[in-house]
Structure 1
Amino acid sequence: MEVWPTGDGSLSLRHPVHGEGYHPAAGAAAQAERLYLRASGVHADPRPRVFELGFGLGVNFAVTLRHARRRGAFLDYRAVEAEPVPLEVLEAVLRPLDGALFERLAPRWGGSFELAGASFRLRLEVARMQDAVLGAGPVRAVYFDPFSPRANPDVWTPAVYRRMFGLLEPGGALVTYSVAGRVRRGLAAAGFAVERIPGWGGKRHWLRARRPA
C-alpha cells in the first residue's frame, strides 16, 4: 500500500483491491472537517456522540477528536471497520495528525477494542457491517464513509440504511460523500429526510440525511 500526500498536506492511500482512494486528492483532513465534522453538526455539539462506518485510516476520528479537545467537549465515538490497514500504514497517515493518539491505538490495532481517555472514548469493532453489534445507545451523527457503492455494494443497502436510522437519535444526521440516486432513494425509503449539500474538492455535492425530530 503506497501512502501519498493529499492537497492539504495530510496523507492517504489507494486501496489495492477496490482501486479507490481512502480520501479525495484535494485533502483528507479537509474533507474530514468540512463534511463529517461540520456538515453533521458535530462541531457544535456539546456532547458529541458519533458512529462511523469505515474507520479506515482514522482521519475522521483524529480531526473530530482534535476539535472536541479544543472546545473542551468529551467525544464518544464508535466505529466499524471490516479491513484494518497494516499498522505501518496507519502510522504513516495518523502519526503526522496526532502522534500521541497513534501511540495509544498501536498496541490494540488489528482487532476490536475500546480505548478511553480524559477527552474521549473510542470503541472500534472489526467486523462486516452485516455482522456488527454497533453498541448500545443512540448517536447524534453517523459518518457514512465506506468505499463507493460500486466498490463496496454490500454496505450501501436498505438494510444498512435502516440500521443507521435506528442508531441515530431524532434530529441526528448521517453525512456521506455519495449523492448517487439510489443512495438518496434508499435513505429516503428508510425514513430519512435527505438533502444534497455543497461539496468540495472536486465534488459538487455531498449528502446529508436527517432522522426527523
Structure 2
Amino acid sequence: MEREIVITADGSSTIHLPEWDEQYHSKHGAIQEAYHVFIKHGLYHFCNRINCPHDVSSSAVDKSPKTLNQTISILEIGFGTGLNAFITLLESEKLGVHIDYVGIEGFPVLMDEIVQLNYPTQLKAESNEALFKTMHELPWEEKHPVSQTFSLTKQNRFFSEIADKALYNLIYFDAFGARVQPELWTETIFKKMYDAIKENGALVTYAAKGSVRRAMQAVGFKVEKLPGPPGKREMLRATKRP
C-alpha cells in the first residue's frame, strides 16, 4: 500500500495512506493527539493513582539521581512510527519511574520512512534523536534497555494473536480507525485487551464511537468518555475493575 509522509496541523509529521484516506496519527496534530490521549489521560492518570516520584504537571526534566522503585508496564496496540513510545520514554525521565514498554505491530514502518519523521525536533528532544532511531533499529521479539528509565520490546504480530494474561498497567490502543479496520474494534479484540491488563489498569484510545464503547463494556471494562484531542469531541478510557 502506498504511504507518504505528511505534516499535521501542529507541525509534526505522520504517515498518510492515500488508498484508505487514513493517517497513523491525527491530521489535527500528531504530537498533540499523542500527549492528550496517551500521556495525559493514560500515563499521567495512572501516575496520579500510584503517586509517581515527580509531579506529572512539571515540564522540567529532573536530572538528579533517582531510585526507580516503580515500574509501569505498557502495551501499545499499533507501534507504528514509534511516536507514542518515544514520548513515553521522554516522560519516564521526568516522572522518575521505569517503563516496561511492549509495542505490537503487524506491518513495521520502514527505516527510510522513520528518518523522515520530525518528532525529535518538534518535541525539542534533539539530544535524544539517536534514541528514537535506535528504538526502530532494535531487533524484534527481544527486550532491550533503551535508557535508564525505559525498556522496549517490539513484537511483530497481529493483534488477534495476543494472548497475554494480566501483564500490563496501561494499554495504548492506537489501531487504525474502525472505518478502515472494523475487525480491530470488536468484542473479540477487547476481550484480549481485558485479559492482558492487570486489575485497576486502564486502556486509553482516541476513539469514541458508541459501538466501540459498547464492545468494551460487553467484556467487562468500566468505560468513561473524556474530552478528545484537537479535532475530536471525545475519547475513551476503559478501566479493568477488581
The TM-score with structure 1 as length reference comes to 0.90
Q: What is the aligned-residue RMSD (CA, Å)?
A: 2.0
Matches within 5 A, 1:170-181: 170-181=199-210
Question: Structure 2 vs 1, CA of residues 170 and 141 (structure 1 numbering), >3 Å: closer, same or farther?
Answer: same
Matching residue's letter, 2:182: P
Matching residue's letter, 1:148: G
The 3-state SS of whatever aligns with 2:237 is strand
The higher radius of gyration belongs to 2
27, 33, 36: which one aligns with 1:34: 36
Shift of 1:105: 2.6
| In 2, Cα distance between equivalents of 1:58 and 1:119 | 17
Say if 2:242 is the partner of 1:198. no
Residue 88 of structure 2 is matched in structure 1 by 64
Residue 12 of structure 1 is matched in structure 2 by 14
Say if 2:104 is the partner of 1:102. no
The unaligned stretches of length 5 or more in structure 1 are none
Residue 156 of structure 2 is matched in structure 1 by 126
- Please list the CA deviations of residues 140-172 of structure 1 after superposition, one character each: whole Å capped at 9, or x if unmatched: 111101001121122212121011111111111
| In 2, Cα distance between equivalents of 1:188 and 1:77 | 26
Say if 2:171 is the partner of 1:142. yes
Question: Structure 2 vs 1, CA of residues 127 and 188 (structure 1 numbering), >3 Å: closer, same or farther?
Answer: same
| In 1, Cα distance between equivalents of 2:138 and 2:150 | 16
- Please list the CA deviations of residues 12-64 of structure 1 after superposition, one character each: whole Å capped at 9, or x if unmatched: 12124432011112211111111111112245453321111001101111111
Q: How many residues align?
A: 211
Say if 2:105 is the partner of 1:81. yes
| In 2, Cα distance between equivalents of 1:182 and 1:103 | 37
Shift of 1:181: 1.3
Contact 1:43 / 1:68 at 8 angstroms: preserved in 2? no
- Kindly, what percent of the aligned residue pairs are identical? 30
Question: Structure 2 vs 1, CA of residues 91 and 32 (structure 1 numbering), >3 Å: closer, same or farther?
Answer: same
The TM-score with structure 2 as length reference comes to 0.80
Question: Structure 2 vs 1, CA of residues 17 and 80 (structure 1 numbering), >3 Å: closer, same or farther?
Answer: farther
